[in-house]
């Protein structure tokens, strides 16, 4: 006898482009009817054509929220989603399963709806212990309420699973997906890039250390500049620090580089994905000095291009993809002296083995891991 189609509601702020393939694969599954409720308009990436995702822009108030991370002396700008008609929107859809992102008001509302509809509630989490360290007060109370009441948890990355286990959640209730990018795209685009030409045009010399991301306070670019200034001047002149990205901190960072009299630092600005793949091909090392990051997708991108990584201990990607894998080294960007020493060592390090390991490690971090985890979750919780 043919099984009936399961109706699945996913509640989240937005769908980043790098996560769209997961939902597209689920959308194509004939046994699943997937509807995604987004709380931020204009932020979701909706596919077109016959496989267009079912997107519903839920009515919500998105309040700016600042989290102070005292342990790393930085701040994080977030949005607090306050659902307005979520209960009625979900009740109209009549889902068999609700998957709600984050541990906030949206999930509290989803728990209430799931209870009334008598369907399971799954909490979708990417939170890691390092990123959650600054969460307190009301947010901790909400977690204490929600975590024991969720039927199961969908997490992206092992560090997120470890965080839930620290709350006493049994591993049997945790379905682990992957924080993934399109590895094939980065491998192909970097492979067809002309490394020698790019390096000549950009004036890249010696070992090129590339840092990629939004130029904002919590990404640690100021600490990277301080560490680069701490290596011997002759090394600074022979090797290159390449910073790619835009943001509110760019002017201040450029002024910092001038003040420190740093040699061989290039601010390249924003790059398209294809251009960025060329930058990875031209570089030798990715430096990821972030102070607050549940993951850090640029680590995946660089590794797919065969670039080893100096990765911050405060990022989920460093804990799962770098620590003990042979694909790079975990650093503490707040330890300026040790950070400089690591950069100095890597100026003359043989990176060939780490390049190979980077590609090997990242192969196992892909979209299928998450798609299969969600399929198992749906089957376990909805099959009668």
Residue 1 falls within a domain, yes or no? no
- Between CA 28 and CA 30 the distance in angstroms is 6
User: Which pTM does this prediction carry?
Assistant: 0.91
- Between CA 302 and CA 286 the distance in angstroms is 7
pLDDT given at position 249: 95
Residue 242 falls within a domain, yes or no? yes
Q: Rounded to a whole number, what is the distance in angstroms from the first to the last CA of the chain?
A: 13
Mark whether 18 and 99 lie in a shared domain.
yes
Mark whether 174 and 187 lie in a shared domain.
no
pLDDT given at position 215: 96
pLDDT at 80 over 70: no
pLDDT tens digits, one per residue of 18-77: 899 999 999 999 999 999 999 876 544 444 444 578 888 887 777 666 666 555 556 556
- CATH value at residue 135: 3.40.50.2000
pLDDT at 242 over 50: yes
pLDDT given at position 18: 87
pLDDT given at position 283: 98
pLDDT tens digits, one per residue of 119-138: 999 999 999 988 877 676 78
Question: Within a 13 Å sphere around the CA of 375, how many CA atoms are in the beta-carbon half?
Answer: 15
pLDDT given at position 31: 93
Q: Which helix H or strand E contains 28, and what residues bound it?
A: none
Residue 110 falls within a domain, yes or no? yes
Mark whether 157 and 285 lie in a shared domain.
no
| Across 300-308, average pLDDT | 98
Residue 309 falls within a domain, yes or no? yes
pLDDT band at 1 (very low <50, low <70, confident <90, very high): very low
pLDDT at 81 over 80: no
Domain hosting 290: range is 183-363
Mark whether 226 and 88 lie in a shared domain.
no
Mark whether 318 and 224 lie in a shared domain.
yes
Mark whether 250 and 194 lie in a shared domain.
yes
Q: How many domains does the chain have?
A: 2
pLDDT given at position 44: 44
pLDDT band at 78 (very low <50, low <70, confident <90, very high): low
Query: What are all long-range contacts of 248-254, with beta carbons under 8 Å and residues at least 24 apart?
Result: 248/215, 248/216, 249/215, 249/216, 249/217, 249/221, 249/222, 250/215, 252/222, 253/215, 253/221, 253/222, 253/225
pLDDT at 156 over 90: yes
| Across 335-343, average pLDDT | 98
- Between CA 382 and CA 293 the distance in angstroms is 33
Average pLDDT, the chain: 91
Phi, psi of 104 (to 5 degrees): -125, -155
Residue 136 falls within a domain, yes or no? yes
- Between CA 46 and CA 15 the distance in angstroms is 8
Mark whether 110 and 208 lie in a shared domain.
no
Mark whether 245 and 269 lie in a shared domain.
yes
| Across 166-175, average pLDDT | 97
Mark whether 210 and 336 lie in a shared domain.
yes
Mark whether 338 and 196 lie in a shared domain.
yes
Mark whether 111 and 211 lie in a shared domain.
no
Residue 26 falls within a domain, yes or no? yes
Residue 147 falls within a domain, yes or no? yes
pLDDT given at position 134: 66
Mark whether 224 and 198 lie in a shared domain.
yes
319 by DSSP, 3-state: which? helix
């Amino acid at each position: 006898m043919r099984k009936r189609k399961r109706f699945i509601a996913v509640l989240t702020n937005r769908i980043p482009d790098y996560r769209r393939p997961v939902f597209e694969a689920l959308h194509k599954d004939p046994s699943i009817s997937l509807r995604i409720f987004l709380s931020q308009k204009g932020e979701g990436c909706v596919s077109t054509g016959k496989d267009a995702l079912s997107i519903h822009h839920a009515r919500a108030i998105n309040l700016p929220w600042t989290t102070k991370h005292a342990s790393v002396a930085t701040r994080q700008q977030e949005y607090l989603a306050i659902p307005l008609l979520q209960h009625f929107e979900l009740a109209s859809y009549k889902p068999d399963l609700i998957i709600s992102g984050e541990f906030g008001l949206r999930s509290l509302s989803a728990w209430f709806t799931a209870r009334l509809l008598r369907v399971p509630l799954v909490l979708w989490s990417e939170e890691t212990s390092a990123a959650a360290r600054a969460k307190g007060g009301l947010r901790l109370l909400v977690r204490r309420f929600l975590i024991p009441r969720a039927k199961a948890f969908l997490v992206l990355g092992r560090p997120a699973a470890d965080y839930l286990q620290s709350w006493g959640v049994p591993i049997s209730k945790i379905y682990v997906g992957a924080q993934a990018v399109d590895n094939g795209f980065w491998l192909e685009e970097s492979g067809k890039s002309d490394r020698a030409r790019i390096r000549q045009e950009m004036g890249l010399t010696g070992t090129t250390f590339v840092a990629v991301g939004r130029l904002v306070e919590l990404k640690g670019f100021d600490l990277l500049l301080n560490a680069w200034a701490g290596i011997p001047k002759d090394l600074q002149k022979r090797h290159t620090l390449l910073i790619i990205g835009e943001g509110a901190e760019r002017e201040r960072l450029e002024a910092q580089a001038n003040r420190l009299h740093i040699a061989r630092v290039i601010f390249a600005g924003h790059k398209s994905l294809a251009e960025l793949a060329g930058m990875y091909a031209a570089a030798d090392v990715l430096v990821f000095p972030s102070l607050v990051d549940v993951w850090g997708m640029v680590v995946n991108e660089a590794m797919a291009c065969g670039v080893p990584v100096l990765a911050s201990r405060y990022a989920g990607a460093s804990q799962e993809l770098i620590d003990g894998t042979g694909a790079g080294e975990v650093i503490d960007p707040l330890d300026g002296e040790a950070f400089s020493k690591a950069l100095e060592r890597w100026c003359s390090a043989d990176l060939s083995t780490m390049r190979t390991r980077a590609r090997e490690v990242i192969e196992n971090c892909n979209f299928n891991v998450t798609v299969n985890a969600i399929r198992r979750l749906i089957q376990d919780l909805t099959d009668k």
